[in-house]
Amino acid sequence: MSKEYYVYIMTNKSRTLYTGMTGDLMRRVYEHKKKLVRGYTSKYNIQYLVYFESTANVYSALQREKQVKGWLRSKKIALIESMNPEWKDLSEGWYED
């Protein structure tokens, strides 16, 4: 079984964007939502998963993360809206409260 790697974008109520990469999307999103990792995402209350893509190649994922992080905000927004025009939290229903 091959491993999946994810490039993802998360946001908050004021649409501050955060781009990351992980080998375990559910765990990573949970960590952001529960503020288990100190830093940017906990400081800005980043808690909504609005975009993700996957690949089986870790190097492709790292390269893609770096590419997306280098984009202008408008291009990131276009990427999000191409898959998620209503900016719904794609992780809704993943976790029990």
Q: What pLDDT sits at residue 37?
A: 85
Q: What pLDDT sits at residue 2?
A: 74
pTM of the model: 0.95
Q: What pLDDT sits at residue 97?
A: 62
Distance CA 28, CA 48 (A): 12
Q: What pLDDT sits at residue 1?
A: 66
Backbone angles phi, psi at 6, to 5 degrees: -125, 135
Q: Domain segments of the chain: what residues?
A: 5-83
Backbone angles phi, psi at 70, to 5 degrees: -80, -10
Task: Return the CATH class of domain 5-83.
Answer: alpha beta
Q: What pLDDT sits at residue 58?
A: 97
- The full DSSP string for 2-58 is ---EEEEEEE-TT---EEEEES-HHHHHHHHHTT-S-SHHHHTT--EEEEEEEES-H
- Model pLDDT for residues 36-95, shown as the tens digit of each residue: 988 999 999 999 999 999 999 999 999 999 999 999 999 999 999 999 999 999 999 999
Q: What pLDDT sits at residue 34?
A: 94
